Amino acid sequence: MSKFYLLTLLGFVFSLPVQAEQRSLEDVIEEVNPSVVNIVADTDDEDQFLGAGIIIGADGYIVTNAHVTENARKITVLTADDVEYDAKFIGADNKTDIALLKVEHPLGFEPAHFADSETVRVGNTVFAIGNPFGLGNSVSLGIISAKERDIEKGPYDNFLQTDAAINQGNSGGPLFNLDGQIVGLNTAIFSTDGKNMGVGFATPSNIVQWVAEQLKKNGKIIRGWLGIGVQKLRTDDPEQKDKLVVASMTEDSPAAKAGMKVGDVLEAVGEATLRNPRDFSLSIASTAPDTVLPVTVWRDGQELDFEVNVVEMPDKKITTDEEPEIAELDVENSTRPAADFPELGMKMYFDDVNFEFTVVEVEPGSDAAAKGIRAGDKFKTVNSQKVFGVEDLKIKLKEAAPLGKATFLFVNDSTVDTITLNLR
């Protein structure tokens, strides 16, 4: 129903523009329902998996979850008007749990259309269509409960959370907005018994569309790679707050060849977003190989510019989404000899496997204690330079003595802190 707003001021009446009339939910559902299919996947073990899929091309392309079609020897697609097709498996990306299927000679396929998931807001009304428990196309209504959820399902987790009912069999089905556009691919639920508890997760449409196009073109996913691992930077410097820092780097990687170093604070990397490590990884992964990215970093109090050539992500290398496995060290029970650094007010030992120092003891009242350093904290660099042992650290501290301070890069679990300590 159109709404009119009247404003009265000094006897004059002003009418605001009439809002466009919105289609009824029933009409939108009726329009998009034919774009949703039911999927039956038969395996060699005679198991049968049920799911849903979305027609994204009148030429027969269908997108669904990779886990729906995993190990399938036969995939059957059933349309909303009960027409059955055999589907060909085109490819899958396990990192995002997305698979692409193809039906040959489809009749009257009505594809759905993608929305820009970047425009989705918490509170938006959405509806899901799927195949819960094999019942066939079923609709559930809800809202977007949250965005950018990381449920530790894969390296590129960036889920939309919804309270629209999603159950077994909904996997691979669409989450629509009220305009009938796909905002997400229903992928997972949080549940204690395998049934809907109002916490469902959908892969954003922008990711779904990019993966589907890659699979259609290449049969696999080609991701860009710089060879760095980044983490959120925590610092007292107001000019450097809420930025990303290079926390790890693969030897002979594009970033290393360009001159970047562990400890560099990222100011700009092409058009990649620097909001958080996950979004940064997604941005770089979606960058085509052979793209040259202009990079600006902050190092030793100055800005430096580089050009980094993006390459195709290797299958078996430490990448931005796969950090090196670091051995756990028991500080209290360690037999490693601890070196005393009175100028820092700390005792530490050096781990020559992971090339990092671990703090064993912090002197009460020292600058280190005042700035929150505790036993068990680890650091890898001093003044943006890697440290290669006790003697190397002593040399670097001696070099920093005229300045009266040194900046350390502490890397603990999922956080990175740059902490400047006054030297005695």
Which residue of the set 35, 138, 145, 171 is catalytic?
A: 171
- Residue 105 is a catalytic residue: no
Structure tokens at 259: 């001159």
List of long-range contacts for 42-47, beta carbons under 8 Å, 24+ apart: 42/72, 42/73, 42/74, 42/75, 42/76, 43/71, 43/72, 43/73, 44/71, 44/73, 45/71
Contact 287, 255 (CB under 8 A): no
Instruction: For the chain, state the CA radius of gyration.
Output: 27
Instruction: Say which amino acid occupies 78.
Output: L
Contact 243, 267 (CB under 8 A): yes
- Residue 67 is a catalytic residue: yes
**Would you say how long the chain is, in residues?**
424
The whole-angstrom separation of Cα 176 and Cα 241 is 37
The whole-angstrom separation of Cα 383 and Cα 234 is 16
Which DSSP category does 191 fall into? Answer: -
Which DSSP category does 17 fall into? Answer: P
Which DSSP category does 2 fall into? Answer: -
The whole-angstrom separation of Cα 319 and Cα 295 is 18
H or E segment and range at residue 268 = strand 265-269
- Residue 97 is a catalytic residue: yes
DSSP 118-169: GG--TT-EEEEEE-GGG--SEEEEEEEEEEEE--SSSTT--EEEE-S---TT
Contact 239, 227 (CB under 8 A): no
Which residue of the set 97, 264, 367, 417 is catalytic?
A: 97
Q: How far is CA 80 from the centre of its chain?
A: 33
Which residue of the set 67, 145, 157, 253 is catalytic?
A: 67
What's the number of CA atoms in the CB half-sphere (13 Å) around residue 133?
5
Among all residues, which ones are annotated catalytic? 67, 97, 171
